[in-house]
A and B are shown apart, each in its own frame.
Chain A
Amino acid sequence: MAEALGARAENAVPRAPVLRGHHDFPEISGRISAVVLQGRLPRFFWAAFFVCFVFVLLFLYSITYLISVGVGAYGINIPVAWGTMISSFVWWIGIGHAGTLISAVLLLLRQPWRASINRFAEAMTLFAVAMAGLYPILHLGRPWFFYWLLPLPNTHMHWPQWRSPLVWDFSAIATYATVSLLFWYMGLLPDLGVLRDRAMSRAGQLFYGILALGWRGSAFHWARYRTVYFLMAALATPLVVSVHSIVALDFTFAIAPGYYSTIFPPYFVAGALLSGFAMVLTIAIPLRWAFAVEDLITLRHMENAAKLMIAAGMIVVYGYASEAFFAWYSGQPYERAMMAQRAVGPYAPLFWVMLFCNCIVLQLLWLRRVRLNMPILFSIALIINIGMWLERYVIVVTGPSRGYLPSSWGEQSLTWLDYGILFGSLGTFFALVFLFIRILPAITIFEVEELVEEKGGGA
């Protein structure tokens, strides 16, 4: 019965297949590893990498300036002591979450379409978390003391404040980064074995040989590997939810209008997924086109990511609505004034642009024609990336700018350093993605081969 229903649903809407065309195993492993081993990448690849590298230099310069001059060099001031550093932090960590969702949740749900996009989604997670982790540390003011957040024996005889969300944040981000790295590396092991055996140069054999840890594809190894891989996915799923909930608690623990809201943890998680899937599409659409892997990363992947975007996006829209509703329903004059200040206050233009990006533009994804049109989908993904950054910025700055006392109201201004660090981190992120594509297989070889086998197209 269920099967018959499934078959009918398939017939009603002819979906793009997960893999297109006929493949065999040597072709898959050869094609994917050739990108890495032959290293003949198109000229525009290096041109784009060069552009990113300029931004890496900007990032390094900005960080050096920030550390030598102090946090006063960027736009924060009293009363708005949290600025772009915190909003960019939340934005980056959110982007990371979609990668974990693709690699872990879709693995647990046994969705075959994850196979060709999980590797670079995990890499995206890793680099996004690396960027995110820098922000709160740079925001500390004296970044070289960041290790005071760790319970280390020291001459000060002090302990971290365990009841502080900042300390939770540190433990959550550190755990998330470590577990993401382990999960990613573990997924890479079998493919590193392929690269080791296919590498022609001595340097390549040594490099991939050491990283592959002697993997040889033994049936006993596979059985243990699969068990642990599934368990790690099962661990990563609640971890993602906890990480972004803790990030939301950074705000809700402050008893300030605009921060103090119980809807924040779930709505932050949904926002994370929305921006994360937007970033997956931002990377995947050029990637599949540039490397001509449109038969491995198919329209099905793109469409499913777009569907997940609209699912997460509608939860975000609901979050906005309930935030406004509860501000009104609470009857608290301060909460109501806060909401009104968002809509008509000094940050109102950002607020309306954010609503336009995240609520209005998002609705286009209901149309199948839009989901299957790559240039339009790419533009929507970019718009939502911008909208989600603005959302975090609006949340971060409007709260402190309009406190309880009108005498202590004030705004923050953005300096060149705000832009330098934001765009510098974007450039560094993409430079890392480029290096990853050059050095490691961006598509999981063994899982795509398994997919080919299940499809019955094997050699």
Chain B
Amino acid sequence: MSLHGVIAAFADPEALTQAARAMRDKGYRRMDAFSPFEVRGLAQILGMPRTRMPWAVLAGGMAGGLLVYALILYSVEIDYPVNVGGRPLHSWPPFTVIAFEAAILGAALAGFVAMLWANGLPRYHHPVFNAKTFTYARGGKFYLLIEAADPKYRKGLTKGQLTRLGAETVEEVEA
């Protein structure tokens, strides 16, 4: 039976933020936190680099818009050119309308997929659900998890540190 880490529950977001900062100052790097809603700034404290999500959204939008515009251009210029009284085949103003819609669609799809991908979701199970004290649903608790894989992790020591930081419960989590 291997160990995933140790999870500590705190009563409010401020206590969790302070504990996360203190544990980071002690040198812990492999940490995670769980809360019923976003605690602002917590991810930065836990050492998350600046998210690259906006780039995925931008890329999706560009891809959607350009691909559809290229498709339209291919259809009117190469595959099926229709000469209507010498009017230009590449009459771009109406084409931008559909390209715009496609850009929005591409950006939204890319953002959603990138968010799931980067978060490792969908996921069937996660060790944190093994913890008896962990519940996402009850809403009143804020958790800090120190992974056993953290080089600083020492079983009794880490638990003691978390208790001294004001944790209500501290529990070992099986992997």
Answer yes or no: do A and B interact.
yes
| B123 proximal to A (CB < 8 A) | yes
Q: Is B85 an interface residue (CB 8 A)?
A: no
Give the dominant DSSP class at A's interface. Answer: helix
Q: Is A231 touching B37 in the complex (CB atoms < 8 A)?
A: no
Task: Indicate whether B148 reaches chain A with its CB closer than 8 angstroms.
Answer: no
Instruction: Name the CB-closest residue of A to B76.
Output: A162
- With the chains together, A158 CA to B115 CA distance in Å? 38
Q: Which of B95-103, B149-157, B158-166 contacts A (4 or more CB under 8 A)?
A: B95-103
Q: State whether A151 and B35 are in contact (beta carbons under 8 Å apart), knowing that A214-B124, A235-B107 are contacts in the complex.
A: no
Is A8 positioned at the interface, with any CB of B under 8 Å from its CB?
no
**A282 → B minimal CB distance (Å):** 28
B38 touches A216 (CB 8 A): no
Complex contact B53–A231 (CB within 8 A): yes
CA distance A196 to B97 in the complex (A): 41
Smallest Cβ distance from A177 to chain B, in angstroms? 10
Indicate whether B108 reaches chain A with its CB closer than 8 angstroms: yes
Check: A459 CB closer than 8 A to any chain B CB: yes
Pair A197/B38 contact, Cβ less than 8 Å: no
Residue from A25, A151, A213, A220 in contact with B122 in the complex, judged by beta carbons closer than 8 Å: A213
Q: Is A214 a contact of B123 with CB atoms below 8 Å?
A: yes
Is B83 an interface residue, CB under 8 A from the partner? no
Cβ-neighbour of A246 out of B33, B39, B75, B97 (below 8 A): B97
In the complex, how many residue pairs between chain A and chain B have their CB atoms under 8 Å apart? Answer: 187
Question: Distance (Å) between the CB of A183 and the closest chain B CB?
Answer: 7
CA separation between A221 and B46, bound complex, in Å? Answer: 12
Residue A179 CB within 8 A of the other chain = yes
**Interface-side segment among A65-73, A354-362, A365-373, A447-455:** A447-455
Stretch of A51-59, A77-85, A88-96, A163-171 lying at the B interface: A163-171
CB-contact partner of A225 in B39, B115, B135, B139, under 8 A: B115
Kindly specify which of A186-194, A273-281, A288-296 makes contact with the partner chain.
Answer: A186-194
State how many angstroms separate the Cβ of A194 from the closest Cβ of chain B: 5
Contact residues of B between 121 and 175, Cβ < 8 Å to A? 121-126, 128-129, 135-140
Q: Which chain B positions have C-beta within 8 A of A226?
A: 38
- CB-defined contacts of B140 to chain A, threshold 8 Å: 24-26, 458-459
Q: Is A28 an interface residue (CB 8 A)?
A: yes
The reply on A227 being an interface residue by CB < 8 A is yes
Is residue A218 within 8 Å, beta carbon to beta carbon, of the partner chain? yes
Instruction: Known contacts A216-B126, A218-B34, A220-B32; decide if A193 and B137 are in contact (CB<8 Å).
Output: yes
Whole-angstrom distance between the alpha carbons of A176 and B71 in the complex? 21
Q: Are A219 and B136 in contact (CB under 8 A)?
A: no
Q: Pick the contact of A228: B32, B35, B57, B129 (CB < 8 A).
A: B57
Does chain B have a CB within 8 A of A383?
no
In the complex, chain B residues 47-64 whose Cβ is within 8 Å of any chain A Cβ = 48, 51, 53-54, 57, 61
| Contact (Cβ within 8 A) B48 A220 | yes
Are A220 and B119 interface neighbours, CB within 8 A? Answer: yes
B22 at the A interface (CB under 8 A): no
Closest Cβ of chain A to B130, distance in Å, is 12
Chain A residues near B54 (CB-CB < 8 A): 227, 231
B16 to chain A, nearest CB (A): 9
Cβ of A4 < 8 Å from any Cβ of B?
no
Q: Are B43 and A225 in contact (CB under 8 A)?
A: no
Residue A446 is within 8 A (CB to CB) of chain B in the complex: yes
User: What is the minimal beta-carbon distance from A72 to any residue of chain B, in angstroms?
Assistant: 31
A110: CB under 8 A from chain B? Answer: no
Residue of A nearest to B39 (CB): A219
A217 at the interface (CB under 8 A from B): yes
A194 to B135, CA, bound (A): 9
Residues of B within 8 A of A162 (CB): 72, 75-76, 94-95, 98
Binary interface encoding of chain B residues 89-117 relative to chain A, with 1 for a CB under 8 A from any of its CBs, else 0: 00100110110111011011101101110
Out of B38, B112, B129, name the residue touching A450 (CB < 8 Å).
B38
Whether B33 pairs with A218 at a CB distance below 8 angstroms is: yes
- Could you say which residues of chain B place their CB within 8 Å of the CB of A458? 12, 140
Chain B nearest CB from A250 CB (Å) reads 12
Asked whether A263 is an interface residue with its Cβ less than 8 Å from the other chain, the reply is no
Task: Let me know if B108 and A179 touch, CB within 8 A.
Answer: yes
- Which residue, of A158, A215, A231, has the highest number of chain B Cβ atoms within 10 A? A231
Complex CA distance for A190 and B38, rounded to whole angstroms: 10
- List chain B residues, Cβ under 8 A from A239: 101, 104
Chain A residues with Cβ below 8 Å from B94 are 162-163, 168
Contacts of A174 in B (CB 8 A): 101, 105
Closest chain-B Cβ to A414's Cβ sits at a distance in Å of 33
- Whether B6 is near chain A, meaning CB under 8 Å from some CB there, is no
Residues of B within 8 A of A45 (CB): none
B43 x A220 contact (CB < 8 A): yes
- Cβ–Cβ < 8 Å partners of B121 in chain A: 213-215, 221
Chain B interface residues (CB < 8 Å from chain A): 11-13, 32-39, 42-44, 46, 48, 51, 53-54, 57, 61, 71-72, 75-76, 79-80, 91, 94-95, 97-98, 100-102, 104-105, 107-109, 111-112, 114-116, 118-119, 121-126, 128-129, 135-140
What are some 16 contacts across the A-B interface (CB < 8 A)? A25-B36, A26-B138, A29-B137, A162-B75, A162-B94, A163-B91, A163-B94, A168-B101, A171-B98, A172-B97, A175-B105, A194-B137, A232-B111, A447-B37, A459-B12, A459-B140
